[in-house]
Amino acid sequence: MNLSLAGAPHLPPISTVGGVMRQVLYALVPGIVAHVVYFGVGILFQIALAVGFALILEAAMLRLRQRPLKPFLTDCSAVVTAVLFALCMPPLAPWWIALTGMVFAIVVAKHLYGGLGSNLFNPTMVGFAAVIIAFPIELSQWLAPRSLTPGLPGIGETAVAIFTGQLPASVNWDAISQATPLDALKTGVAENRLVTEIRDAPIFGDFGGLGWEWIANFYALGGMYLIWRRVISWHVPVAVIGTTILVSTPMWLLGPDIHPSPLQHVFSGALVLAAFFIATDPVSGCSTMRGRLVFGAGVAILTLAIRRYGGYPDGVAFAVLLMNMGAPMIDRLTRPRTYGHGGGGS
């Protein structure tokens, strides 16, 4: 008899890297559908472009690093990076933005640091930071939600816009584009206008931006699914959203004219997406439970600070990257007490 002497446990593990990543992708579907409903099909083009470039670059880097292709292409980690990146892009952003972003995300942030599991920084956010610094104009051209425009570009018009950079003659850019709510807020406050006054603009919804807040709801729904499936723990989302509310509430109560309400903070920009999908990136985040609370709180505080004082309307990307730097130290400082080492009531 030829018996295996492999060590315990003797049952195969209950999950795989690919399985975990696919769960994340499923959880993003509601948010993506909402995105299409409010802002048209552009996001689907962005996703397709980013995923395509990500896989090509991933394969090329694996080949260069002499790693097997199949396990690392099918683990879906590059796809998750690409989809999250695409969700941060304006729907009509030119195709080379996705390429540039993926070069920084996959080649620089991921493989130059040692590939899956070794990256210090969140690849999605590295890619995003690179393109928002390099191409600020292209990344500020957002569409207005469907209800505010005479007609969102269709599939053909979207494709032309993305691949040629030209809007078809039938589409009037001024009619369909809008500043994002966070943009409007930032410039408005800078012009000494009151928050309540700024919020009268039609792009604002009940809490955050019109459309955006519903997309955020669906991201949150997907995030709850991930918590339920134990793909992510509750610590980071609760810390990000909780700290955002905790810090912005007193400021809003003291100065409602210059500070947006806590709920507006939560439902604007990429905060909910980041809380459930980006700050929860395991590789570049904290791994201890208390560390995750600290990490999430840090992301929230830095995001609020950048929104208020920084040069960019939304600060989630930079907040996450800054916290990535601190993650190893936070993990060290939040080590749980081992069984039998003090405490325990004896």
Partner 1 sequence: MAEIEIGRHLYRFPGGLKLRHHKQIACRDPLTPAPLPERLWLPLVQHQGPAGECRVQPGDRVVGGQPLTRARSDREVPIHAPTSGVVEDLRDGPVSWPPGGTAPCLVLAPDGEDRFEALDTPDDWAAESPDALIERLRAGGLAGLGGAAFPTAAKLRGGFPPIRALILNGSECEPYISCDEMLMRSRPEAIVEGARILTRATGAEEVVIAIEDQMGEVRKRLNEAIRTVDPDAPIRVVQVTTVYPEGGEKQLIQVLTGLEVPHDGLPQDLGLVCLNVATAAAARDILFDGRPVIERIVTVSGPGIVHPRNLVVRLGTPIADLVAAAGGPTGDLDRLVLGGPMSGLPLASDRIPITKGSNCILALRPEDTARTQPVMPCINCGECIRVCPASLLPQMLYKHLVADDFDAAQALNLFDCIECGCCAHVCPSHIPLVDQYRHGKGVLRERGVEDARAARAKARFEAREERLAEREAERRRKREARERRLKDTGGAKSEVQAAIERARARKDAGDGEDDG
Least spacing, CB of residue 245 vs partner 1, in Å:
25
For residue 168, the Cα-to-chain-centroid distance in whole angstroms is 30
Specify the residue, 24 or 272, whose C-beta has the smaller distance to partner 1: 24
Token pair recorded at residue 282: 């395991």
**What long-range pairs does 192-200 form, CB within 8 A, spacing at least 24?**
194/257, 194/258, 195/256, 195/257, 195/258, 195/259, 195/260, 196/256, 196/257, 199/260, 199/264
Least spacing, CB of residue 283 vs partner 1, in Å:
5
Instruction: Tell me which of 100, 141, 233, 249 binds partner 1, using CB under 8 A.
Output: 233
- Give the whole-angstrom CA distance, residue 331 versus residue 286: 6
For position 120 contacting partner 1 by CB under 8 A, the verdict is no
Specify the residue, 96 or 234, whose C-beta has the smaller distance to partner 1: 234
List CB contacts of 252: < 8 A, sequence separation 6 or more: 259, 260, 261, 262
Least spacing, CB of residue 233 vs partner 1, in Å:
7
Site for partner 1 in 297-336 (CB under 8 A): 331, 335-336
End-to-end Cα distance, the chain:
51
Site for partner 1 in 270-299 (CB under 8 A): 282-283, 285-289, 292
Specify the residue, 193 or 290, whose C-beta has the smaller distance to partner 1: 290
Specify the residue, 271 or 283, whose C-beta has the smaller distance to partner 1: 283
List CB contacts of 254: < 8 A, sequence separation 6 or more: none
Specify the residue, 192 or 338, whose C-beta has the smaller distance to partner 1: 338
Site for partner 1 in 236-265 (CB under 8 A): none
Token pair recorded at residue 119: 């990256």
For position 66 contacting partner 1 by CB under 8 A, the verdict is no
Tally DSSP H helices, then E strands, for the chain: 16, 2
For position 15 contacting partner 1 by CB under 8 A, the verdict is yes
Instruction: Tell me which of 118, 172, 187, 196 binds partner 1, using CB under 8 A.
Output: 118
For position 337 contacting partner 1 by CB under 8 A, the verdict is yes
For position 169 contacting partner 1 by CB under 8 A, the verdict is no
Q: Tell me how many residues contact partner 1 (CB under 8 A).
A: 49
Helix (H) or strand (E) holding 214: helix 212-228
Specify the residue, 216 or 226, whose C-beta has the smaller distance to partner 1: 226
Helix (H) or strand (E) holding 201: none
Specify the residue, 243 or 280, whose C-beta has the smaller distance to partner 1: 280
Specify the residue, 143 or 327, whose C-beta has the smaller distance to partner 1: 327
Residue type at position 242: G
Taking the CB of residue 321, how many other CB atoms lie within 10 A of it?
A: 20
Instruction: Tell me which of 30, 115, 242, 326 binds partner 1, using CB under 8 A.
Output: 115
Contact 19, 71 (CB under 8 A): no
Residues at the site binding partner 1, with contacts judged by CB under 8 A? 1, 3-20, 68, 71, 75, 77, 115-118, 230, 233, 282-283, 285-289, 292, 331, 335-341, 343-346
